[in-house]
Each structure stands twice: as structure tokens, then as C-alpha cells.
Chains A and B, each alone.
Chain A
Amino acid sequence: MQSLWKSLLGGASGANEDDLLGAVPLFEDLTSRELDAVQRLLHRRDYVAGESIFIQGEPGLGMYIIVRGAVSIQSEPSGRELVELVDGDFFGEIALLNEVIRTATARAKTDCTLLSLFQPDLLSLLDRNPRLGVKVLLSLARLVGLRLVEVSDEVESLTRECEELREAAGVADGDG
């Protein structure tokens, strides 16, 4: 019942969340005052182990930051784990920029506490405090760019691998 009142009346949010927020790459350029403003936009959600956070194929509306716990990013329908994310990691950021279908399932591996940032809140931040909104957007763009570079590298190495395999197969064919 106590937690009910806390959730209704807005009990104090943990100070460690603030520290953690500053440690998230997305928000590392923000001053503590700006972090407070961002903190007010974030929704805090608790998940138990095994609970799905979102499911592949659903429309997505925002990103999640892991405060505590481990999250498994899985590919449906096989349920194959693509990556495991832990404290301070974030995922689902593309949905923050564009309402898209979730391209993988996110499931809590342990009991988790997540902070979520949603598109409508980001848009309202851009409306009310453009300076801060742009700051967040800029680092978001940087991170998405970095990931794009990573993926391009990966695609390149995979292509190279494919070619090597094809060549090897071609040689084998020629032999046969």
C-alpha cells in the first residue's frame, strides 16, 4: 500500500537514477539542470525476469534505458538472442525518432528497472525547451550515426567473407 501512495503522490526518485542518467552516452553532454528536465520526461518501469518489454512486429514509440538489470534482445520467432544489454545500455532508439515496427523483441533477463523516453515527450521537449531538445537530438543522431558506421563495417566484412566463401566454392566447383 505504501508503494501505492508513493506512486500516486510521487515519492522521491532515487538519486542514483540521476547519476546513471548522466552516465548514459545519450545524456552525457547535459548539465545537471538539463538532466533534471530530462528526468521529468522519463517513465520509470519495473519488469520481472522473463517479462517482455516489447515484441517484434509491434509499433514502437520510444527507447528504454537500463537502470538496473539485464535485457535480452531477441529475434522472433526463433527467440535467438542477438545481444544482452546491461546497466546503462539503451535500446529501441530508432522508434524514438520514427514510429516504426519493432525489429526485435526485448525481454527482461533479470528483474529490471528501465527508464523510457517516448516520442511525444521528446516532441513536447522540443516544443518547450528547444535548446535542450536539440542537444538530446544531436547526441541521438551521433549515436545512431556511430551505429550505422558499425553496421556498415559489419556489412562490409560480411560481404568480404561471402566473397571469399564464394571464391572458395568456385575453386571447388572448378576442381570438380
Chain B
Amino acid sequence: MAETFAEAPPAEVHSAPGPARPASPVPPEAAQGPPVPASHLSRWVWLLTLVGVVALVAVATDIAGLIVLGAVAAYLLVPLVNGLERSGVGRTQATTLVLAVLLAVTGLVVALALPAVIDQLGSLQDRWESGELLGLVRDMEAALAAKLGFVEPNDLGLVASVREAIRADTGPLIGYVPDALETMGNAFIVPFVLFALLKDGPTLRKRLLSVVPNRYFEFAMTVFYKADAHLGGYLRGQALIAVLVGASTALGLALLGVDYYLVLGLVTGLANFVPYVGFVVSAALCVVVSIVTTGGTSQVAAVLILFAVLQTTENVVFQPWITGKNVSMHPVMVLLAILVGGRVAGVMGMALGVPVAAVLKVVFLETVVGLRRYHL
């Protein structure tokens, strides 16, 4: 009703309503100030929540990581649950169904693809242990040294650095499989969090907002929904791109005859969650693997072309379609976010650094706008 009574004045005219407020017909005892008990309470709730989150991250980083994983998965799957709900299925049933299908599909993929992946990893491990790969690197170093003349063999330290690098990388990579299984065994927490967030996400959101003081409520609501929409869009888009890039890399490498194409495709898809850096690292990895496995540079050009084509496709076709709907960030900010994220939470931090930075950007921009437009 309010809207129809007065005509809209320009916002600037009323940017300073503070002094005008006492003039309004307000009971004197109520004009004393904001609702003290309510805001105190919500401040405590916020403080407790913050302390809880910090404590969880500090004490049980791995569990916090699993919760984040569950939340990311929830973001990816929410459209499916909403779609089912739209066609008349209850939210609980829709969530159960999506989760059941997800577990079945994951199980199937693991059952079908894991043997092949483990096979490729195992063969890589065998070749490493037999010293074949190291020998190839040694040959390359010798060849380089012979060509360059002014360096002695071993001066370059290629063998040592490759040994270091491979020890650092393949160790965890191969150890990752039992680790992952163990994690999955212990981590019933991921499906649990996923189920809870999918089913009760809207309710949870409402409850979170319910502790915001009245004065900041509409503003908090705006920020919350914009951040939520951006994060959801970003994560869903990145997941889709990761699948597309991973699959096309594996296919391309298979066509080029590069060994371990499944592992490399998987790594490329996952690495693609980290903008710029991921692609460069996985391209370098593919080149190294192709050199090492073929003992020459015959495939390098083709692999580089493949990656150039994929990168171009991603940048020209996929990314505009996805980032068009999201906050655009300066590449320097993106790299900074990746580096800081990596420092804070390792590989997962690198993947989540960008969306977190995007959310912070939304919060920051909305707060700046809010300070101007809301009478906070």
C-alpha cells in the first residue's frame, strides 16, 4: 500500500534521514534506540557461529574440507533437485533420488574406470621404479649437454630435479587411491552434508538470515542472494567445463597415441578448476609424459596444438557463456586469489580461491552500494 501513496523521490534527497527521524510520530519511550535484546542476541549468535567455524577449521581442517566438498556438490546438484520438485516430487524424495542416482553413477564410474586408471598409474609406477623414465631424462640431459657444449653433464641437475618433482608428485598421486578410498569410507560426512544442504538448503538459508538485525536485514538478504547466485553459477559452470575439458583432453590424447591418456585427462579436468595455472600445469605434464614415454619430442607439437585448441575453445566458447553470468575479475586478481587460496588450503584452496574472491567482491561491492543507498 505504501508504494501507491507517495511518488518516488530521488534517493539522494533523502540520503540523510537521521536528523529527520525524531520528528516522526514515535512514542518517546520507543525512540530510545534499536531493539537491544534482539540485536544483542543475534550478535552472540554470529560470534558463536564465527568461533565455531574458526575452531572447526583450526582443529579439524580435513573435516572442514569435507564439509566444503559437500557444499560444493550441493551447489552442483541443486538444479536437479529443483527440477524434480518442479515436476511434482517432494523435496525429500527428490533429494533422496538425486543422491541415490549420484551414488550409483559414482559407483559405476569408479567400478568401470578405476581399474583402467589404476592400471595406468601402476604401469607409470613400474616404469618409474625400473629406472626407465629416469634413464630417458639422463639421456636427454646428456644430449642437451653435448649440444650446448659449455655445460657439463649433470650440471643442469635435470635428473635430480625430475626425481625430486616426481617424488613429490607421484608419491601422493599413487598414494591417493587408497587415501581416497579411506576418506570415502570415513567421510560419510560428505553425503550427509550434501543431503542436508540439498533438502534443507532454503530453510537453512532462512534460519541464517533470521539472526541478522532488522536494520541490516534487507541489505543482508540482497548480498546473500547475489553471492549465492554467483557462487552457484560459477561452481556449476566450472564443473561443466572441467568435465568437457577433461573428456576432450583424454579423447585427444588417446587419438594422438599419448600413453596414460585417462590419467592425464582426469588430471587436466581437475586442474581446470584452477584458472590459467591449471591448464598450463596440465599441458606441461602432458608434454613431459609424452616426451618421457616416447623417448622423444615426436608428440610434443601435436600435444601443444591440442592444448592450444582446447584452451581457445574454452576461452571463446565455454568461459563467456559461464562468466558472462558471473562477476568478472581482473586476471591479476584471479591469480592472486589462486595463490592465496593455495597458501591457505592447498589444492582445494587454489580451486576455491576464485569463487571465494568473487563472493568477497560481491559482498564488497554490495556493501559499498549499500552504505550509499541504504540508511545503514
Give A contacts to B, CB under 8 Å.
3-4, 7-8, 10, 40-41, 43-62, 72-79, 81-83, 85, 89-95, 100-107, 116, 118, 120-121, 124, 127-130, 147-148, 150-151
Contact across chains for B17 and A83 when beta carbons are under 8 A apart:
no
Contact across chains for B35 and A76 when beta carbons are under 8 A apart:
no
Pick the most buried of A58, A101, A102: most chain B CB atoms within 10 A of its CB.
Answer: A58
Q: Which of B4-43 contact A (CB under 8 A)?
A: 4-9, 11, 13-15, 17, 20-21, 23-27, 29-31, 34-35, 38, 41
Q: Is B45 an interface residue (CB 8 A)?
A: yes
Whole-angstrom CA separation of A145 from B195 in the bound complex = 42
Q: Is B202 an interface residue (CB 8 A)?
A: yes
Whole-angstrom CA separation of A40 from B9 in the bound complex = 34
Whole-angstrom CA separation of A116 from B214 in the bound complex = 12
Using Cβ atoms and an 8 Å threshold, which residues of chain B touch A8?
A: 45, 207
Q: Is B328 an interface residue (CB 8 A)?
A: no
Given B41, B202, B218, which contacts A124 in the complex, CB threshold below 8 Å? Answer: B202
Contact across chains for B3 and A103 when beta carbons are under 8 A apart:
yes
Whole-angstrom CA separation of A90 from B373 in the bound complex = 24
Given A3, A7, A90, A104, which contacts B207 in the complex, CB threshold below 8 Å? Answer: A7
Contact across chains for B206 and A43 when beta carbons are under 8 A apart:
yes
Contact across chains for A3 and B203 when beta carbons are under 8 A apart:
no
Using Cβ atoms and an 8 Å threshold, which residues of chain A touch B215?
A: 52
Interface flags, B180-209, vs A, CB<8A=1, else 0: 000000000000000000000011001101
Closest 8 CB pairs of A and B: A50-B30, A79-B24, A49-B30, A94-B3, A57-B14, A50-B26, A104-B2, A120-B225
Pick the most buried of A8, A48, A95, A102: most chain B CB atoms within 10 A of its CB.
Answer: A48
Whole-angstrom CA separation of A51 from B2 in the bound complex = 17
For A102, give the chain B residue with the smallest CB separation: B2
Contact across chains for B3 and A93 when beta carbons are under 8 A apart:
yes
Given B31, B34, B35, B45, which contacts A4 in the complex, CB threshold below 8 Å? Answer: B45
For A108, give the chain B residue with the smallest CB separation: B30
- 28 of the cross-chain contacts (CB-CB < 8 Å) are A3-B41, A4-B41, A7-B210, A8-B207, A10-B203, A43-B206, A47-B35, A48-B38, A50-B26, A55-B14, A56-B6, A57-B17, A58-B373, A59-B373, A61-B221, A62-B221, A79-B21, A79-B24, A91-B3, A94-B3, A102-B2, A103-B6, A103-B8, A104-B5, A118-B221, A121-B202, A128-B82, A128-B86
